[in-house]
């Protein structure tokens, strides 16, 4: 069982190259965690005064986290480009435009929690380029289904600083140890419980859901009696679902008719982790990992969790 990020990165088919990339994510996580702590005293909370391609008012910490993450990916020397929630276009890393890997990232997930000191996260996914190394990386290099993912995971900035990731041979959780100043294995080989847990959804949208999902949820609630927990940050809601079981869902609704969550840097990495942990990851009538992406910021409905709960919800 890998005991530090160095060990996990050596596993999997692309192990040697994944080590610097996953270590880079770890460094970015430590830097972002430091920026989050005490941000209020540096006037770093609040809006950046800019809107991102999602139509969201960017938080200053969205922008700063994005810069930190990009810098750490550049310093690995293995990443040729980054597709980020906070950048409309693919960001080519010129010095390493010949490198093999692209990283998709939600640099700060759940940023609406920032001003109420709620949990936030970072979500990432790594794919190998399709274009020749001699070419400039192209956005088409990012449009690969979840079956092509080489590594993926998330960082949870909560009471502790955790990274949960997989290189395709199971899911491992690492907690930052202030004593040693590094991530150390704390949750080896995470498997989602088959039963129990919670359902997790923003139920206030229920009347606007498409595809009769309101009735589906009412039936699942009646059948299972599950309690409900919802934090409003996908990373936190996903992490609880992974450890306790149940189902996390964000259906399409009249406002977000193709769903709210982004396929490439939210649904696919979380779907990869969920399947690697023995769970299920569905979108509209198709497994998340089978969706062929068409656009960098494409949105999809998401139903992630224990097989029995996802099947009971969608059945
Ligand atoms: P982000 O902060 O990266 O834009 O993501 C927000 C997402 C996700 O974290 C969460 O599950 C969802 O938005 C919450 O949406 P609602 O506030 O509509 O419930
Ligand atoms: Mn956002
Ligand atoms: Mn997000
Ligand atoms: Mn985000």
Bridge partners, 200 (sequence order)? 248
Q: Where in the chain is the domain with CATH 3.30.540.10?
A: 5-187
Query: Which of the ligands is closest to the CA of residue 52?
Result: 2
- Are the CB atoms for 25 and 155 separated by under 8 Å? yes
Give the model's pLDDT for residue 261.
98
| Ligand 1 atom at minimal distance to the Cα of residue 112 | 2
Residue nearest atom 15 in ligand 1 by C-alpha distance: 232
E strands, the chain, are: 47-51, 57-59, 79-84, 91-92, 101-109, 120-128, 151-157, 161-166, 172-177, 182-187, 198-200, 227-228, 246-250, 261-262, 280-282, 299-300, 302-305
Distance 109 CA to ligand 3 centre (A): 4
- Residue range 198-314 forms a domain whose CATH class is alpha beta
Q: What is the pLDDT of residues 53-94, one digit of tens each?
A: 988 999 999 999 999 999 999 999 999 999 999 999 999 999
- 110 is known to lie in a ligand binding site: yes
| Among 16-20, 21-25, 179-183, the least confident range | 16-20
Run of H or E including 223 = helix 213-224
Residue ranges, comma separated, of all CATH 3.40.190.80 domains in the chain are 198-314
263 labeled binding residue? no
Query: In whole angstroms, what is the distance from residue 240 CA to residue 86 CA?
Result: 26
User: What is the model's pTM?
Assistant: 0.97
Residues contacting residue 138 through CB under 8 Å, at least 6 positions apart: 90, 131
Report pLDDT digits (tens) over 277-298. Answer: 999 999 999 999 999 999 999 9
Atom of ligand 1 nearest to the CA of 56: 4
**pLDDT averaged over the chain?**
95
Q: Is the pLDDT higher at 48 or at 264?
A: 264
**Integer CA distances (angstroms), 296 to 3, 59, 137, in order:** 34, 21, 14
| Number of helical H runs and strand E runs in the chain | 7, 17
Whether 175 shows a pLDDT value over 90: the answer reads yes
What is the assigned CATH class of domain 5-187? alpha beta
| Residue 10 in this model has a pLDDT that exceeds 70 | no
DSSP 152-217: EEEEEESSSEEEEEESSS--EEEEEETTTTEEEEEE-S----SS-SEEE--GGGGGGBSTTHHHHH
User: What are the tokens at 312?
Assistant: 């009971």
């Amino acid at each position: 069982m890998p005991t530090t990020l160095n060990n996990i990165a050596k596993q999997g088919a692309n192990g040697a190259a994944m080590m610097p990339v996953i270590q880079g994510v770890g460094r970015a996580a430590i830097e972002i965690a430091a920026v989050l702590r005490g941000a209020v005293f540096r006037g770093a909370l609040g809006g950046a005064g800019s809107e991102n391609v999602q139509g969201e008012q960017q938080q200053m910490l969205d922008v700063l986290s994005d810069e930190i993450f990009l810098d750490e990916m550049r310093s690995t020397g293995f990443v040729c480009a980054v597709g980020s929630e906070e950048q409309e276009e693919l960001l080519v890393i010129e010095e390493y435009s010949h490198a093999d890997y692209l990283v998709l990232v939600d640099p700060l997930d759940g940023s609406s929690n920032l001003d109420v000191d709620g949990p936030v996260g970072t979500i990432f996914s790594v794919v190998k380029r399709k274009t020749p190394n001699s070419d400039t990386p192209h956005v088409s290099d990012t449009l690969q289904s979840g079956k092509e993912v080489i590594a993926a995971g998330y960082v949870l900035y909560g009471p502790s600083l955790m990274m949960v990731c997989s290189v395709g041979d199971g899911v491992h959780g690492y907690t930052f140890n202030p004593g040693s100043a590094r991530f150390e294995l704390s949750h080896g080989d995470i498997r989602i419980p088959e039963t129990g847990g919670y359902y997790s959804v923003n139920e206030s949208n229920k009347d606007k859901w498409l595809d009769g999902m309101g009735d589906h949820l009412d039936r699942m609630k009646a059948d299972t009696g599950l309690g409900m927990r919802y934090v409003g940050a996908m990373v936190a809601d996903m992490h609880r679902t992974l450890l306790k079981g149940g189902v996390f869902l964000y259906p399409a609704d009249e406002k977000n008719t193709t769903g709210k969550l982004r396929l490439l840097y939210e649904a696919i990495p979380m779907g990869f982790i969920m399947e690697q942990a023995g769970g299920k990851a569905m979108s509209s009538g198709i497994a998340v990992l089978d969706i062929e992406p068409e656009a960098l910021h494409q949105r999809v409905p998401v139903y992630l969790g224990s097989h029995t709960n996802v099947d009971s919800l969608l059945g």
